[in-house]
Each structure stands twice: as C-alpha cells, then as structure tokens.
Amino acid sequence: MWPGAIWETNYSFGERFFLLGFSDWPLLQPLLFALILFCYLLTLVGNSTLVFLAVRDPRFHAPMYYFLCHLALVDVCFTISVVPLLLANLWGLARALSRARCMTQLYISLALGSTECVLLAVMALDRSATVCRPLHYTALASPRLCRALAAACWLGGFTNSLAQTISLATRQLCGPRGMDHFICELPALLKLVCGGGGAVERQMFAARVVILLVPSAVILVSYGAVGRAVWKMKSHTGRKKAMGTCGSHLTAVCLFYGSAIYTYLQPTHTYSQGQGKFVSLFYTVATPALNPIIYTLRNKEVKGAAKRLLGRAEWRER
C-alpha cells in the first residue's frame, strides 16, 4: 500500500501535519540521505567561506561581492530552515509537525526564497551596469545605493512571505493532513484549503507571479543589454572578460528560477506533490550547494582570496 493512503483514512490528529517525505521510495532514502547531507555540509562550508571572504578581504568590498555575500547568507539561512527537518524525515523521525511549526517553516523558507528572487535580479542589474557603463559604474553603484538595494531585497522577500503566510494561516484546512512532501511548501498546503481557496488562492497566485516573473523580466532585460554590449565589442579579451563576469551569475539564475517557476507558477489543481517534492529538492538542496562552486570556478578573484586565506592559516600553524 502507498504510505500516503495510511494518512488518508482519518489521521488529521487535530492541528498536526504529517510529512510523508520520500517514504514511498524506501530504497532511495539511504542514498538521498547521504547526498543531501553532503550537499548540506557543502552549502554551509562554501557559503560561509564566501561571507567570511567578503567581510575580511578588502578586495571584496566591490558591489558585485557585496551582493554575492548577501546571496551566500540567504542560501545558508534557507538551507538551515529546510534540510535538518528533511534529514530527520529521511531517517524516519520528525514527520509530524504542529500547525504553528508548519506555518513558521513556510514563512521562513518562503521569505528567504523570495529574497533570493529579488537579489538575483539586483545582481543582474549590477552586472549589466558593469558591462554596459563601465566608466560610470563607480558613480552608479555607490555603497549607499548597494545597501539600500540589499535592504529592499530582504524587506521585499519577508513582506511577500508574511502576506502569503497570513492569507493561508487564516484559511480553514480540510481533508487529510498527510502531505506527500518533505517540507510545508505553499503549493502542497494550498491543496488542503477547504473549497479550493477561490479568490484568496488567486490573490496568492498573483503574488507569486509578481515575485518570480518581475525579477525574471529584469534579468532578461539586463542580460539583453549585456548581450548587445558584448556583440559591439571588438576586443576578444573584452568579450571574454564580460562573459566571465556574467557567466557565473547567469548559471545560478537558470538553476534557481527554472525549478522555482515550475513549482510555484502551477495552478493548485494541477500541482503534483509527488513530482513537486523532487523538483523542490533542486532549489532547496542542490542550488545552494552549487552556488559557491559556480562563483568560485568562474572567478579568479574568489579563488585568489581563498588561496590567500589558506596561505595565512598555514603560516600561522608554522
């Protein structure tokens, strides 16, 4: 019998939710546990190192690295809010969550995910200004403006999450509380709303469209401008440098937005929790782990700063 069928009888248990996780794939769980634990450790080490380098190395005080530091911080916080529960779930523990804990996890993960959406768009604008207006870049990307943009990313992400979480938390949830997922994710919870949600669901869907498609449009326009500027360059060295500057960020954008758009822009009635949980693994586990690797492999300054840091550590040990 499919594990979810157990919970579909009448196991609502008041205000608790039961995350089925990957219990319908018992042979896959040990492998997933090992891979996710590896990605979790890689995320913590890689992103924490980027934040440390951005704080300690004066060469990292440029706007690009300032926003990269915020991206690394978002990835660390996002992973901590999701992965420990997922690992416990795969180990056979912590599958029951109270409504309050479920809504808290939803708020935190949705807030950090929304913040990353906006932050990636701001980073695209920064890359566009670097390539298209190099002579005016220093004046355009002032420290004050960078701080304001970073604050707007965090404020916008948490405000969007607060509005959607309150809208869902005030709705009555019906039916089985067993979710074929490993986290309290918005599309999975919306399927439990009594009567389908109606107007509230449409408003929440519109909010998800704004937080995903508006930054996507900004990114497309920014990289369209970058493409035109690169096409006009006569120097092969200049083109290579421009592509190197933007390539790592564009890779991170494709990885994050592809899976997030698939998950959050589906109508609730067509959303499949079985498929959704595998897609969610990508942007909750894989992307935060890959971001430090992507930015390190494509950036000589990051690699140089890491080598200098390691060199100092070795010198102190001697």
DSSP code, position 134: T
The CA distance from 223 to 248, in Å, is 13
pLDDT, residue 94, reads 56
Does residue 245 have a pLDDT over 80?
no
pLDDT, residue 32, reads 92
CA nearest neighbour of 17 among 256, 179, 252: 179
What stretch of H or E contains 97? Answer: strand 96-98
**Amino acid identity of 1?**
M
pLDDT, residue 315, reads 44
Return the higher-pLDDT residue of 197 and 207: 207
For residue 65, give both structure tokens. 């690295």
What stretch of H or E contains 138? Answer: helix 137-140
Averaged pLDDT of the chain: 81
The domain limits of the chain are 25-306
The CA distance from 277 to 23, in Å, is 12
Is 267 strand, coil or helix?
Answer: coil
What CATH number should be reported for the domain whose range is 25-306?
1.20.1070.10
The predicted model gives 112-140 an average pLDDT of 88
Q: Of 165-179, 253-267, 289-303, where does mean pLDDT reach its minimum?
A: 289-303
CA nearest neighbour of 106 among 187, 186, 190, 204: 186
pLDDT digits (tens, 9 = 90+) for 13-68: 446 788 888 888 888 889 999 999 999 999 999 899 888 887 777 667 788 888 98
The predicted model gives 227-252 an average pLDDT of 73
Which of 52-61, 136-145, 152-161 has the highest average model confidence (pLDDT)?
152-161
pLDDT, residue 162, reads 93
Q: Of 184-193, 263-272, 307-316, where does mean pLDDT reach its minimum?
A: 307-316
- Taking the alpha carbons of 4, 7, 8, 14 in that order, is the dihedral positive or negative? negative
Q: Quote the Cα angle for 138-215-45, to 5°.
A: 75
Is 178 strand, coil or helix?
Answer: strand
CA nearest neighbour of 253 among 125, 73, 76, 152: 125
Distance of CA 151 to the CA centre of its chain: 17
pLDDT digits (tens, 9 = 90+) for 161-181: 999 999 888 888 776 667 888
Q: What percent of the chain has pLDDT over 70?
A: 81
Radius of gyration of the chain (CA): 21
What stretch of H or E contains 179? Answer: strand 178-179
Q: Output the pTM of the full model.
A: 0.84
The CA distance from 178 to 289, in Å, is 29
Torsion of CA 169, 172, 175, 181, to 10 degrees: -10
